[in-house]
Amino acid sequence: MELVKRPRRIRGKETLRRMVRETRMDKSSLIYPMFVVEGTGIKEEIPSMPGQYRCSVDCLSRELETVLQAGVDKVMLFGIPDHKDEAGSGAYDENGIVQKALREAKKNFPELYLITDVCMCEYTSHGHCGVLRGDYVDNDPTLELLARTALSHVQAGADMVAPSDMMDGRVAAIRQKLDERGFVEVPIMSYAVKYASSFYGPFRDAAESAPAFGDRKSYQMDYHNRKEGLKEALLDVEEGADIIMVKPAMSYLDIVREVADTVNLPVAAYSVSGEYAMVKAAASKGWIEEDKIVCEMAASVYRAGAGIYLTYFAKELAGYMDEGRIG
C-alpha cells in the first residue's frame, strides 16, 4: 500500500486538530436576544423556550448582569407592550417598553452593546409588521413609522438598530432619518434576507406577535428562493446597511454562504426560536446531547460564512468558547 495522501494524518491529536481548524469564532461575535415586558417584578419563562424569559424593566438589570458575566456583551432587545393599536404607536413612543429598557440598560451597563429589533408586529393590534390598507400591509406609510421607531430607540440609547419588518426601502428610510438627526455613526444591521418561516413559532408566543389574520408571506420571503435573497441583500447594501443578516440560520446555511460570498459587509445569522425549541425539547427527552448539538450548530453557521451569530444559546456558547470546546 503506497498511500501518500492520508487525510487522517492531521486528525491524530487534539492539539493538531485545533491547529488546522478552518473555522474560528469567538464570543465577541455573539448577540443574545432578550424580551422585555411592561409591568414590575416580572420574570416569566416562555413556555416554548425553556430557559428564556420575559422580564420587566426593573428585573432586566439582573438578567443583563448574567449575560455580561457569561462573557456576552451584545444583546438584541425585543419589546412586548401592554397596549397595541392599528398603527403600532407603542413602537415609536418615547416611553415605550424598549425605550424604557434602553435607558435603564444604558445607565447601568455602559459596557453593554445595545441592539434593538425595529418592527411593528409586537405593537400592532393585527400583529402585522406594518400598517394596513384593507388587508394589505401597506409598504410606504410603514417606512416613516419604522424610521421614527429606529430614531426613538437611538435617542433612548440603542447603539445599533436592526429592522426586521421586510418592507421595501426601510433601510434607506431609517438611514435618512438617523442622518437628519445627527446619528450618522449609528449602524444598521438589516434583517435583509428573512424568510417566512415556521421556525418563528415560539417567538410569536413569546412576543404575542402572531398575525391576527393571514400570514407574513407578502413581505417575508418564500423559502424556495435563493436569488431573491441575494437581491434583498444587495438592495440593502445599496440602501446603506452596515451588516446583513440571514434568518433563520440552520435551514438556510446555503443562503448564508452565498450572501457572505456576495456582499462586502459583515454577515450575521440568527438561529431563531424554533431552532432553540427543537434542541431544548429533544435534549429534555434525553434524545440528543444539548451542549454538543449547540456547538455543532454554531460552528456550522460560522463555517457557512457568518461572522456574527444571534442565538438564544449565546451565554452557553460563550462558555464553550472559553473552555476551548469550539472556536
Q: What sign results for the dihedral spanned by CA atoms 287, 292, 298, 301?
A: negative
Cell 442622518 belongs to 179
* Catalytic-residue membership of 74: no
CA distance to 149, 199, 226, per residue, from 311 (Å): 24, 13, 23
CA-to-CA distance for 35 and 266, rounded, in angstroms? 25
Contacts with ligand PBG in 267-286 (CB under 6 A)?
272-273
Q: Does residue 164 belong to the site contacting ligand PBG (CB under 6 A)? A: yes
295 annotated to bind ligand: no
Nearest distance in Å: CB 109, ligand PBG:
23
Q: Which of 42, 151, 37 is nearest to 101 (CA)?
A: 37
Catalytic residue among 247, 280, 285, 292: 247
59 annotated to bind ligand: no
Interface with ligand PBG (CB under 6 A), residue from 129, 250, 301, 308: 129
181 annotated to bind ligand: no
* Catalytic-residue membership of 247: yes
Helix, coil or strand: residue 247:
strand
Q: Which residue lies nearer to ligand PBG by CB, 55 or 119?
A: 119
Q: Which residue lies nearer to ligand PBG by CB, 153 or 327?
A: 153
With CB under 6 A, what is the number of residues at the site for ligand PBG? 10
55 annotated to bind ligand: no
Query: 318, 72 in Cβ contact below 8 A?
Result: yes
Please list, in sequence order, all residues whose beta carbon lies within 8 angstroms of the beta carbon of residue 159, skipping any fewer than 6 positions away: 113, 114, 115, 186
Instruction: Enumerate the H helices of 182-289 as residue ranges.
Output: 201-207, 227-239, 253-262, 273-284
Contacts with ligand PBG in 184-223 (CB under 6 A)?
200, 203-204
Give the annotated binding-site residues: 119, 121, 129, 204, 216, 232, 273, 312
Active site residues: 194, 247
Q: Which residues bind ligand PBG (CB under 6 A)?
A: 117, 119, 121, 129, 164, 200, 203-204, 272-273
Give the annotated binding-site residues for 5-aminolevulinate: 204, 216, 273, 312
